[in-house]
Amino acid sequence: MFFHVQRMLNEIVPDEPDPAAANALQEGLGGQFGEMRTMMQYLFQSFNFRGPTAKPFRDLLYGVGTEEIGHVELIASTIAQLVDGSPRYQGNPTSLDEPGAGGETPLSLALSGGNIHHWLVGAQGALPVDAQGDPWTGKYVYDSGNLPLNLLYNLMLESTGRLQKCRLYEMTANKTARSTIAYLIVRDQAHENAYAKALEALGVEWNKLLPIPKTNAERFPEVATLLEQGLQSKQYTFSLDQLSEAGRVFQGESPSKDGTTLSTEQAPVGVPFPGIAVERPEEFGPGLDPELMELVQATAEMEMRETAAPLWGPAGS
């Protein structure tokens, strides 16, 4: 059972709209090594887990899997913000307030690169596809049922995800994009450390191989800041009932040999949700004309029903 809070894992820094960067970031969302894949892979490995004595490994998978849902939320929101309003780059800037006025073609930008579906299928929002527009597929999910193999695969998966994000960082200077890319680079490294540490528990010694690729990412300023906070060596359980035993695996010296010690916490504080995106009439989104809006507002003005349910929690169950 899962819960949600209206807080974002990391701040999405404002910058100009940038549909090309948005399209590139789709790889990190719906790509073969993106967040939807890590999320689903770890959750399926958790659901199908075997071996009652190996519970700390199961809980580790559950915790990372739950964090990945929040990563999906973070990167999807970043993409939506990057696409939103990008048509204003086009045509007469004075027509911004009134797209399509005077016989213009307000969405013509959609024809000149990136993913045309951002404007045509969605209304300037994120899509469950990669940077080539290919949809995410369940074929990506790997669960062999063999624990050492799963850990090996997961380590490779996190390393590849981070490799791609480092390349993404070198593809765009947009601050909105980079703020999220940098956060995911550091968290991917934390997860790489998690699986590497789990394999150490099975006897492997990594010596100087990790991290892959080597963290020359520290020359990226946004990354450097997060590394200084030690986020690459911290694991979150996102376990509301605190039953997770992941901390039994994720402890001791970091397998990346960066001198840090691994530690486990329940969850980061995060940042408040950004406001809800404005309407885009040229996209017919959300598509509420004044009459419908009036109906909606009538609904919204009704008093919210008092909820008698106690705050969920160990005490309240």
Binding-site members for Ca(2+) are 59, 239
Helix axis angle for 175-200 and 55-83, nearest 10°, is 170
**Residue 185, interface with a copy of itself (CB under 8 A)?**
no
# chain residues binding a copy of itself, by CB under 8 A: 168
Q: Quote the tokens at residue 201.
A: 């528990």
- As measured in angstroms, the least distance from the Cβ of 19 to a copy of itself is 10
**Residue 296, interface with a copy of itself (CB under 8 A)?**
yes
Of 62 and 232, the one with the shorter C-beta distance to a copy of itself is 62
Q: Quote the tokens at residue 147.
A: 């624990």
User: Hey, how many other C-beta atoms are within 10 angstroms of the C-beta on 148?
Assistant: 13
Q: Quote the tokens at residue 133.
A: 């527009």
CA 263 to each of CA 151, 191, 221, 249: distance values in angstroms, whole numbers, following the listed order: 19, 12, 24, 10
- As measured in angstroms, the least distance from the Cβ of 170 to a copy of itself is 4
Binding a copy of itself (rule: CB under 8 A), the pick from 61, 82, 155, 223 is 155
Per the annotation, binding residues are 35, 59, 68, 71, 158, 191, 239
- As measured in angstroms, the least distance from the Cβ of 69 to a copy of itself is 4
**Residue 82, interface with a copy of itself (CB under 8 A)?**
no
**Residue 270, interface with a copy of itself (CB under 8 A)?**
yes
Residue type, 94: T
Ramachandran angles phi, psi of 213, nearest 5°: -70, 165
Is residue 10 exposed (0-12), middle (13-18) or buried (19+ Cβ within 10 Å)? buried
**Residue 173, interface with a copy of itself (CB under 8 A)?**
yes
Binding a copy of itself (rule: CB under 8 A), the pick from 12, 61, 82, 129 is 129
Binding a copy of itself (rule: CB under 8 A), the pick from 98, 201, 225, 229 is 201
Closest CA to 227 of 257, 180, 260, 181: 260
Binding a copy of itself (rule: CB under 8 A), the pick from 92, 228, 259, 289 is 289
Of 217 and 227, the one with the shorter C-beta distance to a copy of itself is 217
- As measured in angstroms, the least distance from the Cβ of 49 to a copy of itself is 6
**Residue 13, interface with a copy of itself (CB under 8 A)?**
no
**Residue 112, interface with a copy of itself (CB under 8 A)?**
yes
Binding a copy of itself (rule: CB under 8 A), the pick from 98, 137, 225, 229 is 137
Helix (H) or strand (E) holding 272: strand 271-272
Of 228 and 298, the one with the shorter C-beta distance to a copy of itself is 298
CA distance 39 to 58: 14
Which contacts of 311-316 are long-range, i.e. CB under 8 A and separated by 24 or more positions?
A: 312/3, 312/240, 313/240, 313/241, 314/241, 314/242
Of 53 and 94, the one with the shorter C-beta distance to a copy of itself is 53
